[in-house]
Structure 1
Amino acid sequence: MPSRKAYQVAIYSKDIENIGTYVLEEGHFLIKGYTSLADLIAEVSAEIDVLVVMVDDCEDAIVAACKTLRETTKFKITPIVVAELEGRTLDPIRVFDAGCSDIVDRSMPFNELLGRVDKLVFQARAEQVLRKTADDARKVTMSVMTESSNLGLTVQYLIDSNFCDNVDELGMQLFQSLKHYHLRCSLQLRSHFKVKNMEETGMEKELESRLLTELQHKGRYVDFGKRCVVNYGQVSLLIKNMPVDEPEECTKIKDSILPFIQGTDSRLKAIDAQHTLEVERNFMGKVVGRLRESMTEFDDGYQQLMRGSADIVEDMAARMEDSILFLDLTQEQEQTIETIMSNGVAGINAQFSQGVQMNEGFGSLVKQMSAVFGEGDSVPNVDKLLELSSKL
């Protein structure tokens, strides 16, 4: 028969001599007795296989001893056996309610006693495995729930950040979202138009600002002591209270924070693009305004020029008519000259009318552009832009 590992047994008895009442075959049990329950709890480790309480005291004391052992953290699943002595019996219901696993007596054959102990130890070890499996499953579940929570926070931040129209709002929204992680941070947003350094209060700290500026090109993560700088694009975040004693937690924080920084960088670029469009729009509005002024000046000058030209031609025609009487011309020659002068006057008037029509069309275009790019609207109306584009 193959040898088996002996069970480690700790026995509590008021009288150490009672331990020998039970005949235990050598090689099956390694026994150590205690007359003090406090000493047993202090000296016996959680690896003990069986705890035995001898019935050599009153029932209340035995029940109290079982409760004390079961409530001890390291003995939560350790089998507790109550061993009855000759002439001493207990109420089994009270004993089992106190945490006892089994009750044995001296008349029990050794093989039956060994079988019961085998069963108790097997059940305890199986329960230990089940507890460990349950703990692992709970940890995995909590990890999944945490990851889901982090994902929800990230998605919510990405949604909320789309409503931020300037750098200050974006920074404060990021700090608000990071409160879940209980981190103390400093932030630097490098917009095309300005560099914004800020704390949770919205104010700037000079030392942190200089540090972020110096480390912005030193890599994605820069660790020194409890501080960590996270760089991505136009955004740098200084974390001042990293849990350096927990490397796994540090890694989780970095992985969780990075999507927030990436989203902030994307929104910052969008804000820059929006600001650029506003600058271009303001420039176009000024150009259109200047063009309108130039058009008005050109229109006045053009009108004066055309009228002056028409007046000169008409005056020349009138003078020619007056001069014909003194030139001694034939009737045919007079008619020829009059025809030429009449055609000249008609031609210059036709040119004047055509110029007025062209000027009115150009003026209408400038007026429409002024309506689209005028200072009254915050952004050009899309429908107006499409209408104007169709006329170009």
Structure 2
Amino acid sequence: MNNQEKPLVLIVDDDLFMLDFIFDALSETCNVITAENGKAALQLTQQQRPKLVLADVIMPEMDGYELCRQIKSDFDISDTPVLFLSALDGIEDRLQGFDVGGEDFVLKPANPKVLQAKVAHVLQLIEERQQLKSQAQYATNTAMMAMTSMSETGLLIEGLKHFNRCNTPVELAKSLLNALALFEVDSVVEFLLPAGKSLAVNTRGPASALETSILHHMATMDRITQFKSRMSITFPHIRTLICNMPEHDPDRCGRLRDHLAILIEATEAKLEALNTMVQAKQQGLAIEETIRSLTAALSKTDELQRNGRASASIILNTVTTRIETALVSLQLTERQEASLISILRSGLEDISNTLHADADFQDQLSSAIKALQSTMNET
């Protein structure tokens, strides 16, 4: 990758040692510029428009939070993502970073590989958000038109009716975000999927690491938890964070809480149905494979048993002939010879009857195998 293709990244830290350390960690994959204070960083951001700003939280005059706040309040550069560098990792620090619009935290002392991975992840998110920007704008326009023409109850019904057309968790997540957008709320949604997988998204694309960490923290609280303008709604398979509840309007806030809870509960039911369908399909495939293996094994057994019965009949006839021939050379009386032959024939008849009884069972087994094969061909 040549220098022109490398993304421009701005590092802001009043610690010159840390500045050099991060510069060295990122210089191979990024074009790196540096600033030693927040004021200089803001000017560089306005002038050079970096793809990403890495800002130390604790700096004199203008700290990292204030720098991020000013970047987000400037229309021309408000899309610039900010990654915080901090030795603080409490929920209050993360919430403060979330409030001012930050993307994620990198803990000091920074591990170079972790830093490189987080920077690469944020840059990837930016690329995806740019691709989805036009779609998001379209969804916002649609939501605004819907808001002017339908009541809140109508919006709820409008959102719910799209759920039944969703066939995958990704489609369902998009439908839920669109339904929430009808109520003019900005939200983050996480679906918990089978096999320990998850899907976390917002209206701009994949959720940031900071948004996901806040979702996980608030999921440990009550089903519905509101803190000022933020509200979380948690179900067994869905976690939702609403970021801009109208706290200044208690009546509307209460109505929204009810409507949004209904939306998310309906989504939970649909997600459970999708997960069940996936599991049922997997179980069906496993059962089908088992039936195929069983049919093959039974067919082989049937063939072996039929061949064995035919061989047994031939052996019995041969033994009978050989014994009758042998009796002639023993010089037995006619009575003795007749008695032995009678015993022999009685035993052979019992064996033959047993073989015939097995033949009836063999025919039943063959019929069952044909039925299984017919069922497999139909599927």
**Normalised-by-shorter TM-score class:** 0.5 to 0.7
- The amino acid of 2:182's aligned partner reads H
- What is the CA–CA distance in structure 1 between the aligned matches of 2:208 and 2:266, rounded to whole Å? 24
Q: Which residue of 2 aligns with 1:263?
A: 266
- What is the CA–CA distance in structure 2 between the aligned matches of 1:195 and 1:376, rounded to whole Å? 36
Q: Which residue of 1 aligns with 2:230?
A: 227
Instruction: Compute the displacement of 1:183 (Å).
Output: 1.9
- Confirm or deny: 8 A CA contact 1:285 1:375 kept in the other structure: no
- The amino acid of 1:216's aligned partner reads A
Q: Which residue of 1 aligns with 2:18?
A: none
- Confirm or deny: 8 A CA contact 2:193 2:199 kept in the other structure: yes
User: Secondary structure in 2 aligned to 1:243?
Assistant: coil
Distance 1:360 1:200, change over 3 A: farther
Q: Which residue of 1 aligns with 2:202?
A: 199
Select the residue among 149, 165, 168 that pairs with 1:166. 168
Instruction: Compute the displacement of 1:259 (Å).
Output: 0.4
Instruction: Compute the displacement of 1:157 (Å).
Output: 4.0
Deviation track 1:134-193 (CA, whole Å, cap 9, x = no partner) reads xxxxxxxxxxx99x8333443444443233332122212212222311222111112334
Q: Which residue of 2 aligns with 1:33?
A: none
Identity of aligned residues (%): 20
Q: Does 1:310 align with 2:294?
A: no
Deviation track 1:196-235 (CA, whole Å, cap 9, x = no partner) reads 2222355343222222222213112233453221112321
Runs of 5+ unmatched residues, structure 2: 1-146
- The amino acid of 2:334's aligned partner reads Q
Q: Which residue of 1 aligns with 2:284?
A: 281
Q: Which residue of 1 aligns with 2:302?
A: 299
- What is the CA–CA distance in structure 2 between the aligned matches of 1:256 and 1:332, rounded to whole Å? 103
- The amino acid of 1:172's aligned partner reads K
- The amino acid of 2:216's aligned partner reads T
Q: Does 1:216 align with 2:213?
A: no
Distance 1:156 1:320, change over 3 A: farther
Deviation track 1:89-118 (CA, whole Å, cap 9, x = no partner) reads xxxxxxxxxxxxxxxxxxxxxxxxxxxxxx
User: Secondary structure in 1 aligned to 2:274?
Assistant: helix
- The amino acid of 2:261's aligned partner reads L
Q: Does 1:246 align with 2:276?
A: no
Deviation track 1:72-104 (CA, whole Å, cap 9, x = no partner) reads xxxxxxxxxxxxxxxxxxxxxxxxxxxxxxxxx
- The amino acid of 1:163's aligned partner reads R
- Confirm or deny: 8 A CA contact 1:220 1:232 kept in the other structure: yes
Distance 1:150 1:246, change over 3 A: closer
Q: In terms of Rg, which structure is larger?
A: 1
Q: Which residue of 2 aligns with 1:382?
A: none
- Confirm or deny: 8 A CA contact 1:187 1:198 kept in the other structure: yes
Tell me how many residue pairs correspond in the alignment. 232
- The amino acid of 2:166's aligned partner reads C
- What is the CA–CA distance in structure 2 between the aligned matches of 1:215 and 1:227, rounded to whole Å? 10
- Confirm or deny: 8 A CA contact 1:191 1:272 kept in the other structure: yes
User: Secondary structure in 1 aligned to 2:151?
Assistant: helix
Q: Which residue of 2 aligns with 1:339?
A: 342
Distance 1:332 1:157, change over 3 A: farther
User: Secondary structure in 2 aligned to 1:222?
Assistant: strand
Deviation track 1:1-47 (CA, whole Å, cap 9, x = no partner) reads xxxxxxxxxxxxxxxxxxxxxxxxxxxxxxxxxxxxxxxxxxxxxxx
Moved more, 285-294 or 352-361: 352-361
- Confirm or deny: 8 A CA contact 1:187 1:236 kept in the other structure: yes
- What is the CA–CA distance in structure 1 between the aligned matches of 2:326 and 2:337, rounded to whole Å? 10
- The amino acid of 2:252's aligned partner reads E
TM-score, reference length from structure 1: 0.52
Instruction: Compute the displacement of 1:261 (Å).
Output: 0.7
- The amino acid of 2:214's aligned partner reads L
Instruction: Compute the displacement of 1:298 (Å).
Output: 1.9
Distance 1:361 1:201, change over 3 A: farther
- Confirm or deny: 8 A CA contact 2:159 2:178 kept in the other structure: no
User: Secondary structure in 1 aligned to 2:194?
Assistant: coil
Distance 1:376 1:223, change over 3 A: farther
- What is the CA–CA distance in structure 1 between the aligned matches of 2:158 and 2:367, rounded to whole Å? 48
Q: Which residue of 2 aligns with 1:189?
A: 191
- The amino acid of 1:188's aligned partner reads E
Q: Which residue of 1 aligns with 2:66?
A: none
User: Secondary structure in 2 aligned to 1:189?
Assistant: strand
Equivalent residue runs for 1:320-335 within 5 Å: 320-335=323-338
- What is the CA–CA distance in structure 1 between the aligned matches of 2:174 and 2:278, rounded to whole Å? 19
Q: Which residue of 1 aligns with 2:180?
A: 178
User: Secondary structure in 2 aligned to 1:198?
Assistant: strand
Distance 1:332 1:365, change over 3 A: same
Distance 1:367 1:322, change over 3 A: same
- Confirm or deny: 8 A CA contact 2:191 2:237 kept in the other structure: yes
User: Secondary structure in 1 aligned to 2:188?
Assistant: strand
- What is the CA–CA distance in structure 1 between the aligned matches of 2:202 and 2:306, rounded to whole Å? 63
- Confirm or deny: 8 A CA contact 1:310 1:348 kept in the other structure: no
